[in-house]
Copies of this chain bind each other. A is one copy, B any other.
Amino acid sequence: MNDIIFRPIGIIHTSFKESKETPIQPRKSGGAEGTIEIYDEYIPALDDLDGFSHIYLLFHLHLSKGYELKVVPYLDNRKRGLFATRAPRRPNQIGLSIVRLLRIEKNILYIKDVDIVDGTPLLDIKPYVNSFDEQTEIKIGWLKNRIKDNDIHRADSRFDDT
């Protein structure tokens, strides 16, 4: 019932070959770089994108199978409601990352601050616009005091299927 069908518009290439050891967030990646190969049919849709320094990537968390409604997230040691976390095993396996766009050459996007596993199917690109996307009066629930600036934090295998 109500199936919604999407198809990749490209593939993300990075140095992270499995979910274990992949950074848990772009800002925790230590500046990791990667590329995105956009399928040829979509090249005209990339026009004007190179004026933006940051882009949202929406992608298929293709290694994630199944999910639990309560999980122990990275940066915590007790179970939290899944939707209060960014854990990759979700009812709909959609990943969201904001990465830095370095340059575009034909159908290849060069990106930085990457927290994505190699071979991940890309679903959409949207420009990051600070006056739309930056928020004020923010509360971050259980994550308060759990995030340290400038550290690098990589995944373990807790969300692997195996």
Contact = CB atoms under 8 A, between A and B. Distances in A.
Interface in A134-161: 134-135, 137-144, 147, 149
Copies of chain A in the complex? 2
Q: Main secondary structure on chain A at its contact with chain B? A: mixed
**Most B CB within 10 A of own CB, among A5, A48, A140:** A48
B141 A81 contact: no
A79 to B, nearest CB: 8
Nearest to A132: B25
Interface string A46-81: 111111111010101000000001100000000011
Given A9-B91, A135-B98, A49 B121 contact: no
Contact of A7 (B27, B92, B133): B92
A27 to B, nearest CB: 5
A134 B131 contact: no
9 closest A-B pairs (Cβ-Cβ)?
A51-B141, A47-B81, A48-B84, A45-B82, A53-B139, A44-B69, A83-B125, A6-B92, A45-B69
A96 interface: yes
A98 to B, nearest CB: 6
